[in-house]
Amino acid sequence: MSAVLEQQSLGELAGLYWDDPLGFVLDCFEWPEGEGPDVWQRKFLEDLGRAIKDRRFNPLQPEPVDPVRMSVASGHGIGKSTLMALCSGS
């Protein structure tokens, strides 16, 4: 995590990344140089951010919006649980 992000409160971080899950994952987790989420995980996070924006969710004036429903079908061990942990900030 960058020094700037280390100074942010959880609320401030939420304000920065509420519609940018890929940015959150890239900036708020320590990745070895040149590494990060798998290509399919990046696409999922980009699609999630786009879905949030398309629904016009506004965290400052919350009004009901349709839920985002996404799924991934695959075999064992590709990183689905890791993706969910990254989304939750675990």
pLDDT digits (tens, 9 = 90+) for 34-63: 899 999 999 999 999 999 989 988 877 878
Supply 60's token pair: 């400052």
Residues 13, 16: Cα–Cα separation, whole Å: 5
pTM equals 0.79
Rounded Cα gap, residues 20 and 23, in angstroms:
5
pLDDT in tens, 13-27: 777 888 999 998 998
